[in-house]
Amino acid sequence: MTSPSVTATKPQAAAPAAQTPLAALSRPGHDTGLLLLRLVLGLTMAGHGVQKLFGWFGGGGISGTGQFFTASGYPAGDAMAVLAGLTETLGGLGLAAGLLTPLAGAAVVGTLINAIAVHGTGSFFAPAGFEYELLLTAGAAALTLTGPGRYAADRFLPVLRTQRPAHGALALALGVVLAAVMLLVRN
């Protein structure tokens, strides 16, 4: 007879090792999705930048874009065209390559905040709406906060090898502050 306080115990199966949050996010599907988002958003922004800088893809070039900036109330329209063109081109290419992703994303966010302000928020949907700019802004902000994924040049930079939320948050804050400064110089 066995005592009620003594029971046979079966060996416990080893619990599966808990995945860390970063390990759970570095699945191939996640990284491929981030790559797709980076490529589409980054190359779209780079395309807008070269429209401003070189007049490619039906753009106005520096002169035409400078006239637009002057008409929109910015001082030194040609200088603003160069600044916007470089920011869009370099920020877009940085996102596409996953290179310096927090800064590239913040550059795109800052530029698009100005685009939304200039375009106006009178209507949400096209042709007079700002949903396109808002979608690009949200995508760039998401990439800035999440990081570029495994298939990115940032993996070769020790400081950016792993995504740190603080990098993304600080970069976004910088992009928003610089966008606000640019809006303040606008008439």
Using one digit for the tens of pLDDT, what is the confidence trace for 59-76? 999 999 999 999 999 999
**DSSP secondary structure letters along 129-151:** --HHHHHHHHHHHHHHHH---SS
Contacts of 73 (CB under 8 A, 6+ apart): 186, 187
Long-range contacts of 5-14 (CB under 8 A, 24+ apart): none
Tokens 């970069």, residue located: 171
DSSP secondary structure code for residue 4 in this structure? T
5 pLDDT above the threshold of 90: no
Short-list 174, 101, 175, 92, CA closest to 143: 101
Instruction: Retrieve residue 175's tokens.
Output: 């992009």
Q: pLDDT for 16-59, tens place per residue? A: 455 555 555 568 899 999 999 999 999 999 999 999 999 999 99
Helix H or strand E segment including 14: none
